[in-house]
Structure 1
Amino acid sequence: MDGKCYGLLGRKLGHSWSVPIHQALGCPDYRLIELEPDALEAFLRRTDIGGLNVTIPYKRDVMPYCDEIDAAARAIGSVNTIVRRPDGKLCAYNTDAAGFCYMARRAGISFAGRKAVILGSGGASLTAQACARQLGARQVVVISRSGPDNYENLSRHADADIVVNTTPVGMYPGNGAAPVDLTTFPACGGVLDVIYNPRRTALLQQAEALGIPCSDGLPMLVAQAKAAEEHFFGTAIDDGENERILAQLRQETENIVLIGMPGCGKTTVGQALAQKTGREAIDLDERIAARAGCSIPEIFARGGEAEFRALEREEAAKAGALSGKILLTGGGVVKTVENYPSLRQNGRIYHLLRPIEVLPTDGRPLSQGADLTAMWAEREPLYRRFRDAAIENTGTVEDTADAIWRDFCAHSGD
């Protein structure tokens, strides 16, 4: 671009989505820069630095090496954006604040006059605290593992109106963990989680189930990146870019999950979607058979449905943690309640519908000799519970795949 170094500085960055965001904003050379603490000082003395974002664990560690720190960043006590000016000075800013405010506003969560509980005490927490106060919170409480307000005495703050997670608990690859149980806060009316991978952490899935307005951290990540780019190159970027890039990332990273009765066409429709979109289609039954070293009927013969469901639960958790895939499930995946959060965390779930009388049964242990009408009566409420949308699969495979893709693109910015 201009021969300078642009990128995200951190210690472990395998989870990061910053590169595609900055490339979409017009910085094609942006890259991930993983450094150990003892290499930090030497790197920041490089003269070819153009612009850097800074993440865990260096948001405070880089401050002593910066020549100038923006007043707002100094007040927060944490920086996430560094620019080397033409005179050679390193100037630091905190664009996370702009991102946090954007995330809260987009989710319709107001801090004005409300009590906020912020989980965590690191750099992201400092930003969240400053923003909560700036947005008019009447009280801000920081929960840490060893401070006066900690996870052992959360009940002291049962009157909290807003819960903000700034810890890495629940972040990929530690999917499924939650830092708190939201029922501890019966007055809670808003939940913000700075984690963006997975899209729906266990904390956010509980918020959704409780009907609490909530947001993951991707809107924050995109908005802070736009603000950082403005510092990098000294040019204003239209605010509309936030929504454009957010919708693009949602579409690229969210999974398409197919559920439905045995024989409803999940495999053929999934293959058509894979061809249409260029995505990888992952068949959970194939993964289960490969892991067991035998066919699905042989698993049932050996250990019954219980063994199969246990393997299915584990493979659903693994596949559901991936991004940008097409997941093809077995007909009974909905019988295990734990599979819902696994599939939902990164996916939009489609229920394929086909008349019972045309469903094939060959090679399907639970369908052969079964009363499919009774099976449907048992599973229909479960499918309804899991699904985001129902799609009729009574026309051509291509028509069904097209219908799913149209719906998926239409909801990619949700």
Structure 2
Amino acid sequence: MLDRRSFLGSAAAASLAAPIGAQALTSVPLPAADLHAKNEDAYWAALRKQFLIPADVVNLNVGTVGSSPRPVLKAIFDGFETTEQMTQEGSEDYPIWGYGAWDQYRKPFADFMGAKVEQMAILRNCTEANSYIANGFDMKPGDEVLISDEEHGSGEMPWMLRSRRYGVVVKKFAMPKPAKNAAEILNRISDAIMPKTRIIFVSHISTSTGVVLPAKEIAALARSKGIISAFDGAHAPGMMKVDLNDIGCDLYTGSMHKWLFATKGTGFLYLRDRSVMDRVWNTIATGGYDDPARMADRYMQIGSSCIPTLMGLNAAIGFASSIGMDRIEARNRMLADYIHAEMMKRGAQDWTSPDPALRCAIATVNVPPVQRMELQDWLWKNHKVRIRGGNPSKLRLATPYFLSKADIDRFLGLFDEYRKMKGA
């Protein structure tokens, strides 16, 4: 009989004997280019096989974190294998990131987001990018930032920290729940603007309700009043087509690990032009942070980091582009509309919007007296269905393109079963 030490040693030896990432590196053919036109269900089912999520798991919580598909994982693993050999060409080249411009990773993502490479800084997550703005935007005590009452903690808390330390005033406006139309949101922002408002910081897609805010109109409103516009776009990349320069905002942040299914530990900061960059101080500094000629690259001077994550990001962009963002967005919207309609039939209260234009791949509903956390745990522990939401009774239902209607119907059936079981 093995003692604990012997057992651990045997387990370690077994893990070393197995190929690293064997499951992820197993090649699964992508669907033929013409399959979508012939059989949509077969096309999306074939793409589902690119993800390591077991077939009996239904993930309605991509709003928290996505799952990287096989091509992305392969790029990451190959990247580690290559970089860790320490055979880089130059005597000063190492498998770290923090001192170069890395345009080979910035440019594909900038192109994907409708931006120029000099406007884009690749960071480690959206929280870091939001903190750059809140901590670095040039303001004096008494100046005001306008945010919504639906901001994620990583969007709101950096401003609260700035307020506590330096006397910046955080003002909130109440988002309509649900938002009937885009004009209703825009009017609430307009009514909340005050003489000391210096920056409007709101989510492009609300993390709590999933409503898609009218970003282009908000940016135009801000500009008309001489106010900086900034958006937390954590949910937008990979969920819907985004053209940052068309939106016309001054600042935009986001994550790639949710809907783009890129490497965990990838985020970004977009800055429209030099006039905006001159108003945002670096809050992480090393050599090159103060070189204006580097444009957005100077916000990437953060010290050593991880090149394979960027290789995975490039693979994620390639994967999404091979499907097509128009096709992905249409699929996301169709599935969200379907689950939204089905929950409305069940008497749920809409917390996103009755307007399909203000939804994409998240539908949030309120289902009292059902207790969200109890339902969430029951679904996962007993049926391998993941959801998330807000207490006491809000369910945030995310619908990534790889789900099928059968997956959603499975959740709906279980929701009905749970309500009946609880006598709700």
TM normalised by structure 1 equals 0.30
> Which has the bigger relative contact order, CA under 8 A and spacing at least 6?
2
